[in-house]
Chain A
Amino acid sequence: MTDAAVTAPSPPLWRRLIGFNFITALILGVAGWYVGWFGAHAVVGPSLDYFGDIDYNELSVYLAYLGGVVGFLVGLGFLNYPVRRLLGYPPSLREKEESGWTRYFSLCTDHKVVGIQYLWGIGLFIFIGGLNAMLIRTELLTPHNQVFPAGTYLTIVGMHGTMMMGMMTSGILGPFANYFVPIMIGARRMAFPRIEALTFWLLMAAGVVLTSTVFFGGFPTGWTGYAPLSTQANPGIDNYILFFALVGVSMTLLGLNMIVTVLTMRAPGLTWTRLPIFVWGVISTSVLMVLAAPILIAALGMAALDRTAQTSFFNPAIGGSNYLYENLFWMFGHPEVYVLALPGFAIVLELLPVFARKPLWGYRLAVSGLLGVSLLSWFVWQHHLFVSGINGDLRPFYMLSTELISIPTGFTFLCGMMTLWRGHIRYTVPMLFCLAWFFNFLIGGLSGVFLSDVPSDVTTHGSFFVMAHFHYTIMGGLIFTFFAAIYYWVPKMTGWELNERLGKIHFWTMFIFFNSAFSVLFAVGFLGQPRRSVTYPSNLQFLNDWVSISAFLLGASMLVFIFNLVWSLAFVKKPAAANPWGSRSIEFQLPSPVPVHNFDRIPVFSGDPYGYGEEPMPSLTPAGAPAGRD
């Protein structure tokens, strides 16, 4: 099939545009949107006076976007496989893996293509989220003068939070786990390649759904979407609900795919204790994703029903409970924040041995730390509700469980620090980002101690202290390691080097201005500025201006990164060496970029990839076994 594709004459352009591709997807997406919109109006609009009084119709918003998403996915070709199988055609397991640059804009079953799609797609939406952060800081330059109307400000805050939370959930697992987990376990693909592509395109559809909330008046609830505020809000909240539900579906499928892949597709010799620690991080994250995201989908489904069908799950005035939403949301939400943190731990532990030139210290302890965090994160969610009046007598328990989680987190610190100890440390760009993780996550973790303690939490809950805390853990913990992963792996993924000098400028400006912005926010919160508030006491203006200016400079450091990416990958195009870091991990024993079929022969593993200073680097011994099923 490969040979045929290469030798066959290419059809004319107009012929290539017809078929299941991105353009068709956009057309069907728009068509589906209008079918849903007018369909719901036709069915429901005239029949209820309630909808007659106002110029919108909640059901129309939901059906329009659902129709749009379905149309988009059909246009990409997600229905082809089941339909063809129903009609009796033979199965085709590979889609568009050989089709040039257009495969990046289509349903492609090559896990490496999906990884790169994720990197750019998520990057785009994180950029939008980052711009929202800049707008927030612009508004907070002055306490009283308004840059934005209050409602617009709340929409910006909500967009920033929701976009970042939704997109960064797959920030490491999307690009890097999709690309490298199959390679690290010696496989040629993920267990469910079509579902892998589906998770990506669902996420992109979700991003568009959330961004278009501006056409429906935005939403005032922040990323938590608490009822009953969500019940009385603009139809823009419907976009929020659909966005998070789609992200939830994408998360669940992504996690399932990862778990099944690692469970069933490991190459011969790859026992559990030889698994790279990054794969362990992916497993512990995936378990959380698979179990937590359905709770979110259910909670948002109820919120959507409250808005469209007046079911009153969450409306206390007619028999519901606003605590139900808070409970369900945080029962998802706390595992979710560890979905954000755990891949960061894993990246740090994966990269430190490479740049400290030492084996990973305490492999089993590191694994138990990751799994321990994963387990304990299920028992802490009501610490978000310490002053809400829910289960007052359970607060000592949640205080204890929250503080217990610092023990497995401490394992990650110990293993990382002892790996550095007596190493031969090379300060490359990825290493700098990993070391910054220690600093940031330490501050984030120690500030979390204040929030886990009920008496202290009464002071800090709902203030900028909380906000600084989770930016230290998520931005300092996840985004920094996300960049570490980019600088470490993008040369392998694209085959081109990134500029190291620009990388170092990016790192130092980001590290300095990140800390300059968010450390001050601890003080701002301690001094009594509540989150998501468009005004604040005048005496806090100096600190807020300091934070805003630091935030703008932080934004500028992101521009350095974007410039580096565009400059190195689009203009300089310096070919990357196969193993620029001297890593013993298997993906660096393959050429850059990795060929479509990954391995000529399925490798046989004889040890973990951390044997620095031990025996010489093992070559990729071809197995005697056949090259595996496709």
Chain B
Amino acid sequence: MASEPTAATPSGESTNLGLRVVVAWLVLSAIATPLVAIYVGPLIPPGNGSVQAQGQTFSNQVMVGLITPVLCLMAVFFAYGLIRFHMRANETALEGPPIRNDSRIQLLWLVITTTMVLFLAGFGTYELLKDGAGGGQGPDPIALPAHHHTAFPVQVIGQQWEFTYRYPTLGGMESNQLVLPENTLVVLHVTSLDVIHSFWAYQLGVKADANPGTDNVAYVTTKGPLVFHVRCAELCGLWHGYMFDNGFVVSHTAFTHWAARAVALYRSIKPYVNRPPEKGGAPFSLTYLPAPPGRAG
């Protein structure tokens, strides 16, 4: 393994090679990032089914936009480096130049990665605190949307293996259908009767774990009429896979009609509902707003 004295190679060559990569990277990024923004951006989920979903979509789009140049850098570096520096049969020098360090590159790398990380953390915090981003925040939410005191409350009750919904402002009516009025700030109080579930309303951009005995609060501002999927996103036992349903955002008139019918139906079955499960009553929530018994964390 005797090596050629390659240490004498002028460092200018390395700089030139490096410049090539940087230029190619800048060019590729300048082309790729707008293309990704134009063609991939609109496909990014979860869409604009609600204000919070729109916020998540925006976050996802920003991140896709940010990682595109990073991917470009890696693509250019490896495409160039792996071809340019591969050991050829007629190579005279068997070993590369013994470069062990370059503190300028280290510093540059550290500054760039730190800047990106701090930007991401700041951006994420801003987007989170703005309106809660549709995520469950526990019983004492800090990321409150404007006018959250007037939000329309719905209690989401997970149990094996179904979600049911309780409307405190409609006389505590309970339903196995989630129907929400359009253009309304809704506060979802998510809880569970048995094990941990996770309430995931995909197009609404809501995800909140349903913990037994805990009130997990999530805010969502609905937009126009919408059919959305509700799924359980936390493994909850045997029929976890079948714990899905559709939910609906409807106009205010339609909501009033639905609510009237649902309240009537609920009144007719209520004598059975409030009986304990083992005596034949429907096992709806034992947790009632506005006094959740448990605190998270």
Contacts and interface: CB of A to CB of B under 8 A. Distances in A.
B128 A356 contact: no
A228 B241 contact: no
Contacts of A458: 52, 56, 133-135, 205-207
A476 to B, nearest CB: 14
A311 interface: no
Contacts of A403: 117, 120-121, 124
A316 B212 contact: yes
A395 B2 CA distance: 56
Given A453-B120, A458-B134, A528 B202 contact: yes
Given A323-B296, A459-B56, A392 B140 contact: yes
B294 interface: yes
B91 A424 contact: yes
Contact of B211 (A221, A388, A533, A537): A388
B141 A392 contact: yes
Given A316-B211, A455-B55, A388 B136 contact: yes
A365 B98 contact: no
A526 interface: yes
Contact of B63 (A406, A456, A527): A456
Contacts of B136: 387-389, 392
B96 to A, nearest CB: 4
B17 interface: yes
B242 A226 contact: no
Nearest to B125: A396
A387 B67 contact: no
Given A407-B113, A461-B207, A530 B296 contact: no
B86 interface: yes
B45 A528 contact: yes
A283 interface: no
B236 interface: yes
A154 B235 CA distance: 9
A304 interface: no
Contacts of B142: 392-393
A357 B95 contact: yes
Centre residue among A424, A427, A457, A611 by max chain B CB count within 10 A: A424
B25 to A, nearest CB: 13
Interface in B64-112: 66-67, 70-71, 74, 77-78, 81-82, 85-87, 91, 93-102, 105-106, 109-110
Contact of B1 (A317, A323, A422, A616): A616
Contacts of A406: 113, 117
A396 B121 contact: yes
Interface stretch (A293-301, A413-421, A554-562): A413-421
Contacts of A439: 74, 78
Contact of B96 (A358, A407, A455): A358
Given A392-B138, A455-B128, A537-B229, A322 B113 contact: no
Contacts of B52: 458
Contact of A356 (B74, B96, B121, B241): B96
Given A228-B196, A387-B198, A403-B120, A611 B125 contact: no
Interface stretch (A12-20, A53-61, A274-282, A442-450): A442-450
Contacts of B78: 435, 438-439
Contact of B207 (A222, A395, A450, A462): A462
B284 interface: no
B209 interface: yes
Contacts of A427: 86
Interface string A451-478: 0111111110111000000000000000
Nearest to B5: A613
Given A229-B196, A389-B216, A455-B59, A424 B239 contact: no
B6 interface: yes
B237 interface: yes
Nearest to A153: B241
B165 to A, nearest CB: 18
Contacts of B280: none
Chain B contact patch, size range: 35 or more
A456 to B, nearest CB: 5
A423 B85 contact: yes
Contacts of B213: 316-317
B100 A363 contact: yes
Contacts of A362: 100-102, 106
Contacts of B214: 316, 323, 389
A224 B236 CA distance: 12
A171 interface: no
A612 B96 contact: yes
Interface residues of A, number: 92
Given A154-B235, A526-B45, A614-B98, A391 B241 contact: no
Given A361-B100, A417-B81, A446-B71, A462 B198 contact: yes
Nearest to A363: B100
A621 interface: no
B81 A421 contact: yes
B256 interface: no
B238 interface: yes
Contacts of A220: 235, 237-238, 240
Given A316-B294, A527-B45, A389 B139 contact: yes
A438 B82 CA distance: 12
B235 A387 contact: no
Centre residue among B120, B194, B239, B294 by max chain A CB count within 10 A: B120
A522 to B, nearest CB: 11
A339 B50 CA distance: 40
A399 B121 CA distance: 6
Contact of A459 (B6, B46, B110): B46
Interface in B229-280: 229, 231-242, 244
Contacts of B102: 361-362, 418
B154 interface: no
Contacts of A229: 195-196, 235-237
B60 A533 contact: no
A387 B241 contact: no
A220 B195 CA distance: 12
B7 A391 contact: no
Interface in B116-172: 117, 120-121, 123-125, 127-129, 133-143
Nearest to B206: A458
A323 B297 contact: yes
A359 interface: yes
Contacts of A396: 121, 124-125, 128-129
Nearest to A382: B297
Contacts of B206: 458
Interface of B: 1-3, 6-7, 14, 17-18, 44-46, 52, 55-56, 59-60, 63, 66-67, 70-71, 74, 77-78, 81-82, 85-87, 91, 93-102, 105-106, 109-110, 113-114, 117, 120-121, 123-125, 127-129, 133-143, 190, 194-196, 198, 200, 202, 205-209, 211-217, 229, 231-242, 244, 294, 296-297
11 contacts: A220-B238, A228-B194, A228-B196, A316-B212, A322-B196, A365-B106, A388-B296, A438-B74, A455-B128, A462-B200, A582-B1
Interface of A: 150-151, 153-154, 220-222, 224, 226, 228-229, 232-233, 316-317, 322-323, 356-363, 365, 385-393, 395-396, 399-400, 403-404, 406-407, 410-411, 414, 417-418, 420-427, 435, 438-439, 442, 446, 449-450, 452-459, 461-463, 526-528, 530-535, 537, 582, 584, 611-614, 616-617
Given A393-B142, A404-B117, A446-B70, 12 more contacts: A150-B242, A229-B236, A357-B87, A389-B211, A390-B296, A396-B121, A420-B85, A421-B99, A456-B63, A462-B233, A530-B233, A614-B3
